[in-house]
Amino acid sequence: MGQKLLMKGNEVIAEAAVRAGCRHYFGYPITPQTEIAHYMAKRMPEVGGVFVQAESEVAAINMVYGAASAGVRVMTSSSSPGISLKQEGISYSACAELPAVIVNIVRCGPGLGGILPAQCDYFQAVKGGGHGDYKMVVLAPSSVQELYEMTVEAFNIADKYRTLVMVMGDGILGQMMEAVEFKDKENIVAVDKSWAVTGTGMKRENNVITSIYIKPEVMEAHNNKLQAKYKLIEQNETKVEVYNCDNADVIVTAFGTVGRIVKNVIKTAEKEGIKVGLIRPITLWPFPVHAFEKYAQTPKAFLSVELNAGQMVEDVRLAVNGRRPVHFHGRTGGMIVTQQEILDKIKEIIK
Amino acid sequence: MATVFKKPHALKDLSMHYCPGCTHGIIHRLVAEVIDELGIEGKTIGVSPVGCSYNNYEYFNCDMVQAAHGRAPAVGTGVKRANPDNYVFTYQGDGDLAAIGTAEIVHAATRGEKITTIFVNNAIYGMTSGQLAPTTLLNQVTTTSPFGRKPEVHGFPIKVSEMISTLEGAVYVERVSVHDIKNIINAKKAIKKAFKVQMANKGFSMVEVLSTCPTNWGMNPTEALRWLQDNMIPFYPLGNFKGKDLEV
């Protein structure tokens, strides 16, 4: 059994990255994720790593681009407005097929918004916040324990597919303290990085990392290559938690912290004779369409509960594909959905 | 027959895409000659910009990374911090470095990143067809200053070397030109010293190279060289701004 500690979500992300072999962190302060930078500033020197406080989120993501090009495990973290600034580097990294981990501890928006929790960056994360046809794997942990495990896994997925992986939590998850049990040894999957720019040593042809393909045939071929990779990721990496869905009257769908609120609603509803199921996408991209297909005809209706004005619900509707009604309940601005609100909505649906 | 002149090894044997009379080719060659002479090709990583020289990763024989517009110093920071034993240079034009990438160059310099920047200043945007650059001279006509650069409309040109030399992390800053043989020789000396400063782990080094753009200046190559000498050098004086006596 590993070490069990009481830790803040943001610090767990940072420690998980270190345990995953990440020795390069580039970031810029923004609430509510700055504890990641605080932790890295102390921890990286202890493990012979590099912490750089960049002059902007734009610079930070481009430092990530450089370090990933050089073949090391690298991470940056930010919160919503900062993630918007990183979109340039995200698109370029996706095209150049650079493996890196990006953490977004989401706060409410749009604009500077507020510093309270939200899930309003779902579209930006899964539909491509930057330009061009690209995808990145988006992991949505719901507890501090999952923050740890998924951050480690994020580095493995990034390396395996030469892709960006985003760990997307919200301000609740980043700021709350919970018990976390660390493993004695992490599963670090080593991959060949002979594509990286580390110097030719005059022993090989030079390596080039680029995202520009001026010839249309070449650019299209590169796009096809990227799309084939995304298909493979869809096949191999889709993750979902399906809970209490057999014979459910209503299946609620929620990701991250909201999934935990729904689990409490399931207990309360059961006492009132209503069977509620939960489909909690763990990978927001790739989206677990198969879970919705399996249960598409089980409940009377689906209900998507989110801390936004209705984003994931669009993917739920595509997956359910008209077979059942899909309802939505959400709060914005840093307001959190309550168990009572969800229960009332469920009752309204099955009435 | 003895070979008396050949391409430097650090440069691939390709024809370049630059316009006739453009001095990018000379500057590429100088960088490559320096890499050869210092014997560092196998440990060097170049960072390409956005602008006319965006694809110089095709020309250099060392490992190369192509960066987003203006971000080369940040990308170079990442590369160097990942593998401090590598020698990293960025190659950037005036739009890339002095407009969109101002924050990145200033902060890479002030952090004292152990990288070398080759800053090519031709006072105009080349690739996008001749727009006003931060370094465009007063009264200079461009496609976005068709009546000439006016301070009340466009503001004033930036003297990058002077600005960067005020930063403590920048330990070697020199402005050179490639409009004639004497200056080409001086330019190579400066580029060599900038790389040696990096090899000695001293801090950030930059060489600003005054360069021509006959196509967008609307001149033939000879006129362009003369225009550089007569107009650019009086405003952008050549010489060392930092680290003249630095022993490397």
Omega within 30 of 0 (cis) for the link into A32: yes
- Indicate the pLDDT class of residue B1, thresholds 50, 70 and 90: confident
CATH number at residue B205: 3.40.50.970
Q: Mark out the alpha helices in chain B (DSSP H runs).
A: 24-38, 72-82, 94-95, 102-110, 151-154, 160-164, 181-199, 214-217, 221-227, 233-235
Minimum Cα–Cα distance from A200: chain B residue: B42
Do β-strands B116-121 and B204-210 pair in parallel, antiparallel, or remain unpaired?
parallel
Which among B65, B82, B104 has the least Cβ separation from residue A59? B104
Chain A contact for B248, CB < 8 A?
no
With 0.80 as the threshold, say if the pTM is over it. yes
If you count DSSP H runs as helices and E runs as strands, how many of each does chain B have, helices first? 10, 7
Per-residue pLDDT, B247:
93
* CB pairs A-B closer than 8 Å: 140
ipTM: 0.97
Our count of domains for chain B comes to: 1
Given a contact cutoff of 8 angstroms between Cβ atoms, the answer to whether B202 and B172 are in contact is: yes
| Residue numbers in B near A62 (CB within 8 A) | 67-68, 71, 74-75, 78, 104
Chain B contact for A84, CB < 8 A?
no
Question: Is residue B8, in this structure, part of any structural domain at all?
Answer: no
Question: Is residue B9, in this structure, part of any structural domain at all?
Answer: no
Measured from the Cβ of residue A310, the count of other Cβ atoms closer than 10 Å reads: 13
Domain A241-350: top CATH class: alpha beta
Question: Is residue B233, in this structure, part of any structural domain at all?
Answer: yes
Of the CATH numbers 3.40.50.300, 1.10.240.10, 2.60.40.10, 3.40.50.970, which one belongs to the domain with range A4-237?
Answer: 3.40.50.970
Question: Is residue B16, in this structure, part of any structural domain at all?
Answer: no
3-state secondary structure of A189: coil
Buried b (16+ CB within 10 A) or exposed e, A193-216: beebbbbbeeeeebbbbbbeeeee
For residue B169, give Cα distances in angstroms to A320, B164, B200.
58, 9, 14
Per-residue pLDDT, A1:
62
Buried b (16+ CB within 10 A) or exposed e, B25-39: bbbbbbbbbbbbebe
Question: Is residue B14, in this structure, part of any structural domain at all?
Answer: no
Question: Is residue B247, in this structure, part of any structural domain at all?
Answer: no
Tabulate helix, strand, coil % of chain B (nearest 5): 40, 20, 45
Q: What residue ranges do the domains of chain A occupy?
A: 4-237, 241-350
Mean pLDDT of B153-166: 98
3-state secondary structure of B65: strand
Q: Which residues contact B24 (CB under 8 A, 6 or more apart)?
A: B16, B18, B52, B53, B56, B120, B211
Minimum Cα–Cα distance from B11: chain A residue: A206
Do β-strands B239-242 and B170-177 pair in parallel, antiparallel, or remain unpaired?
antiparallel
Q: In whole numbers, what is the pLDDT of chain B averaged over residues? A: 97
A240-243: long-range contacts (C-beta < 8 A, 24 or more apart)? A240/A279, A240/A280, A240/A281, A240/A282, A240/A283, A240/A288, A240/A290, A240/A291, A241/A278, A241/A279, A241/A280, A241/A282, A242/A277, A242/A278, A242/A279, A242/A280, A242/A291, A242/A294, A242/A295, A243/A277, A243/A278, A243/A279, A243/A280
Question: Is residue B118, in this structure, part of any structural domain at all?
Answer: yes
Which among A68, A89, A199 has the least Cβ separation from residue B68? A89
- Each of the 351 residues of chain A gets a pLDDT tens digit; together they read 689 999 999 999 999 999 999 999 999 999 999 999 999 999 999 999 999 999 999 999 999 999 999 999 999 999 999 999 999 999 999 999 999 999 999 999 999 999 999 999 999 999 989 999 999 999 999 999 999 999 999 999 999 999 999 999 999 999 999 999 999 999 999 999 999 999 999 999 999 999 999 999 999 999 999 999 999 999 999 999 999 999 999 999 999 999 999 999 999 999 999 999 999 999 999 999 999 999 999 999 999 999 999 999 999 999 999 999 999 999 999 999 999 999 999 999 998
Residue of A63, A86, A194, A222 to mutate for B, most B C-beta atoms under 10 A: A63
Strand partners, A306: A330
Question: Is residue B90, in this structure, part of any structural domain at all?
Answer: yes
Q: Comparing A4-237 with A241-350, is the CATH topology the same?
A: yes
Domain assignment of residue B182, given as a range: 24-242
Q: CA-CA distance, A155 to A161, in Å (whole number)?
A: 10
